[in-house]
Amino acid sequence: MVDVGSKPDVKRIAIAKGNIALAPETIKLIRENQIKKGDVISVAKIAGIQAAKKTHELIPLCHPLALTNIDLSFDIKENKVEIESKVECIGKTGVEMEALTAVSAAALTIYDMCKAVDKNMKIGDIYLCQKSKQSV
């Protein structure tokens, strides 16, 4: 773990994106809330939020952070769901890992909820697209 004790507290924001490719029939089931496990997008959003809050428990050298905001959005396309997370905190280290973890957990949750009806799903293109810090 890196010592960040002497760094000043600043507002930190990270945005990550990713997607999961699904069959058009599966997309239709998601849109119509017909997946047997429930509302896929709502559950995936909660999973992403929970995962961001627990990133330090999953990634060995991450610092525990007091996150001030976590938001996930989902764009359902014809053959995939695009996921975006935005994570914020005021602290001494960035929130990139939390944003990436949120997207990853959301995609995994969609996979889990749809695996009974779609055997060819593919999670991909998870990446950090923006990070910033500003004085408080």
Find the catalytic residue in 9, 71, 75, 112.
Answer: 112
125 given a catalytic annotation: no
Say which residues have a Cβ less than 8 Å from residue 133's Cβ, sequence separation at least 6: 10, 11, 12, 13, 94
Q: Output phi, psi for 7, to 5 deg.
A: -80, 150
Catalytic residues: 112
